[in-house]
Chains A and B, each alone.
Chain A
Amino acid sequence: MKFYCEKDIIQNAINTVQKATSTKTTYPILEGILIDAKDNTLKFTATDLDLGIETYINANVAEEGSIVVKSSLFGEIIRKLPDDTVMIETNGDNIIIKCQKSEFTLVGNNYEEFPKLPTINENSMYEISQDVLKNMIRQTIFATAQDETRPILTGVLFEVKDGKLSFVALDGYRLAVKSCEINSKNNISAVIPGKTLNEISKILEISDEKVKITFTPNHILFNLGNTKIISRLLDGEFINYRQIIPDEYNLRAKVKTNKLLDSIERASLLAREGKTNLIKFNILDKQIIVTSNSQMGKVNEEVEIELEGQGIKIAFNSKYFIDVLRTIDSEEIYLEFSTSVSPCLVKKADSNDYIYLVLPVRLVDND
């Protein structure tokens, strides 16, 4: 194998596929990137067996061939090379990197040991623009579970039903549903690992270029043109989230998103001291009083609201509110409540494409 390519092009390709390389593995080959050179095209592949990424770049290929090189070291070397054409060739299982007056010889691995990514017949079931997909991930992924007590909750539900695509994430304490129109008659329900979406959202760009999505019973494939991302799907039934979302409320408050966020962020400074993240809402006719206290002191914040219904006192983990208020894309939001122990719904005032549900903290009077 021998090829010539610009340094920054190689570097971008490495950055893209590196997101799938394993860092802690008992299978060292997975720490590597597979490079295939053919027909003036380079294919870079990396996988941790759950997630696989391959990306294509153009290069001047003098001699076809393949090799596996350790991802982290290769990435570091390329990044530190001068901005110029890089020549890479193999010599047995060794790989030689030349750029201007630098020359590296690295130990590589035989490409035959590298696991093959699952082959998927692309039928492009769905098409969605990159920026929409990125936003859908951003507004739901934070609500996935971080621990493995219930593995299915570490993923995001990808659901297409009657021309509507919904991303749903929940960790048992809160739930985020983001929807958009999709031009497809195929209904589907599959759970994508949170880690996959997290890595994809780093690769996605803010552009209206389409991403093509294909499902198999066990895998999902995102095709971004030059880059393909294949991920295993999570096994198991997702929770029937619709039955958790109440359709009625006793009171509804309209509030300015950033005003509420600022108040809660300030109040949570003290909540954090007490390590409970506990903040209390006292919802009155014209305002919400946000309070919090810990051994270090107490705080009292007022936020103006427009209220329908009777006031209420309710307590929350401040993190669950901050997460949503930071990502919701609406200047004004509705907060819907029923009782002090039932869920609160957060909705956009100008659209119904987003629903966030958060369960309160139960306060117990120890007599």
Chain B
Amino acid sequence: MIDYGNRTIMHIDVNSAFLSWSAVYELQRGSKVDLREIPSVIGGSKEDRKGIVLAKSTPAKKYGVQTGEALWEAKRKCPELIIVPPNFNLYTKYSNALYELLHEYSPKVQRFSIDECFIDYTGMEKNYGKPVEMAYKIKDRIKNELGFTVNIGIGRNKLTAKMAGDLKKPDMVHTIYPEEIPQKMWPLDVKKLFMVGRKTEKKLKEMNIITIGDLANTDVGILTNKLKSFGKLIWEYANGIDNSPVQTQENIITKSIGNSTTTKFDVEDYITAHKVLLALVESVAQRLRATNSCCRLVTVELKSSEFLSYSHQKKLFTPTNITCEIYKAAKELFDEMWKKEKIRQIGVRVSDLCSDEFIQTSIYDNDIDKKQALDKTIDDIRNRYGKSSVFRAVFVDSGVPEIESGTETEDYSTANQLSQIKSK
């Protein structure tokens, strides 16, 4: 039996992850400026219209620059602001490096998002010493070996560990043990509690629940009455109750893989739209194959220039992970749904995944072997020589990037809310 009250869980959170990682990368390449020490942000370039602040440096914060605001807004607050475009490949590399390092300390590491991990340190004291001392060691090792800073929160469960990690940044270690909850967690504004978003905050504040402590001391019946089971969940969180396990990589099942992009210009014709779809499918299918999966369902999502979103989905006859098969389905979906208006954003998602270990062949298959061999060869070349080392001729001078990996998203099937991916 797991003694839930006696676990030791650590939450590792990279401080301004995207900015730190880009800064470290620039320094390694010989840059003299540390992006972290000047007003700078990570954000899509203006021409690409993906213009929001994804991460900001501490000096930029002093100008009032906020994550999520438009780049032009940020620029107005701070004219000398440096804008660096995001590099997701790079971030994935740093994220993997962090994961590997943490794995040395415990077999149970959960990658919670690209820049956050949980580790279950329960029972590791014998080997590595007291949690707090160890946390400092880990933090410093990451700083020295990988070059960026992290916050580490320690608690008896994932919730308190995460809350502790968010206390004061950067480069710190905090604990929230059960006896510390009233003094460290309860005075905080209720919106700081994990899972309490803007809407819930509003509802809670209408009920005169201002701090986490107010929430913890509210009758749970009143909360469930108002917010259903979610009310009970946040009440438990406010009291530091959370029994969700640290889920290691193996037992997290990917539910869907998707990719969407805001195009550089409004798409108004089929040919361009098909190219964008193909570019998205290239990346989605490759990721699908990398997880040794096949998909049965393909979804295409569109957002018009008037910000209206809609989507269509299609069930495939046989599960597949072949780029051109998924593209074929995506194209059919697009053609059937598009209302000829200007398109601003296009997304492709594959779901209803299954293992590629054994696939029932069908009479509709043709040249599966050849297509699989082709995809595998292209994947191998790209993995070795980079994503752009080989690409389809249609993309030459087309203005559409040959592989669109703009905003990658993955959903995982999970036991409860704390295990859900939170996008930053």
Contact = CB atoms under 8 A, between A and B. Distances in A.
A362 interface: yes
Contact of B357 (A244, A317, A359, A364): A364
Interface in A337-367: 341, 359-364, 366
Interface string B286-309: 000000100000000000000000
A278 B358 contact: yes
A170 B363 contact: yes
- Identify which of B292, B357, B360, B364 gathers the most chain A CB atoms within 10 Å of its CB: B360
B357 to A, nearest CB: 6
Contacts of B315: 147, 149
B362 interface: yes
B363 A359 contact: yes
Given A150-B317, A362-B368, A366-B292, A172 B357 contact: no
B27 interface: no
Contacts of B317: 149-150, 172
Nearest to B292: A366
Contacts of A172: 317-318, 362-364
A149 B362 CA distance: 14
Contacts of B374: none
B361 A361 contact: yes
A265 to B, nearest CB: 19
Contacts of A361: 358-361
Contact of A244 (B318, B358, B360, B363): B363
B292 A315 contact: no
B411 interface: no
A149 B314 CA distance: 9
A50 B391 CA distance: 51
Contacts of B214: none
Given A149-B317, A150-B317, A172-B317, A362 B363 contact: no
A100 interface: no
Interface residues on B, range: 10 to 19
Most buried by B among A147, A170, A362, A363: A362
Given A149-B317, A150-B317, A366 B360 contact: no
A76 B259 CA distance: 56
A192 B207 CA distance: 63
B356 interface: yes
Interface centre among A315, A364, A366, by most chain B C-beta atoms within 10 angstroms, is A364
B358 A359 contact: no
Contacts of B360: 173, 317, 359, 361-362
B292 A341 contact: no
Interface string B340-364: 0000000000000000111111111
A193 to B, nearest CB: 20
A364 B358 CA distance: 6
A239 interface: yes
Interface string A119-158: 0000000000000000000000000000101100000000
Interface in B319-377: 356-364, 368-369
A274 to B, nearest CB: 10
B360 to A, nearest CB: 5
B357 A366 contact: yes
Q: Which of B318, B361, B363 has the most CB of A within 10 A?
A: B363
Interface string B363-396: 1100011000000000000000000000000000
B361 A341 contact: yes
Contact of A362 (B292, B361, B364): B361
A359 B366 CA distance: 13
B213 to A, nearest CB: 46
A276 interface: yes
A239 B363 CA distance: 10
Given A149-B315, A362-B368, A315 B358 contact: yes
Contacts of B369: 341
Nearest to A145: B317
Contacts of B363: 170, 172-173, 175, 239, 244, 359
A364 B361 contact: no
Contacts of B359: 361-362, 364
Contact of B362 (A276, A278, A315, A359): A359
A276 B361 contact: no
Nearest to A359: B361
A147 B360 CA distance: 16
Contacts of B364: 172
B354 to A, nearest CB: 9
Given A150-B317, A172-B317, A362 B358 contact: yes
A150 B363 CA distance: 13
A360 to B, nearest CB: 6
A198 B127 CA distance: 68
Among all A-B residue pairs, the 8 with the closest Cβ atoms: A359-B361, A172-B362, A361-B358, A362-B359, A361-B360, A366-B292, A363-B358, A173-B362
Given A173-B363, A364-B357, A366-B356, 11 more contacts: A147-B315, A173-B360, A173-B361, A239-B363, A317-B360, A359-B361, A359-B362, A362-B360, A362-B361, A363-B358, A364-B356
Interface of B: 292, 315, 317-318, 356-364, 368-369
17 contacts: A147-B315, A149-B315, A149-B317, A170-B363, A173-B363, A239-B363, A244-B363, A278-B358, A359-B360, A359-B362, A359-B363, A361-B358, A361-B359, A362-B361, A363-B358, A364-B359, A366-B292
Interface of A: 147, 149-150, 170, 172-173, 175, 239, 244, 276, 278, 315, 317, 341, 359-364, 366
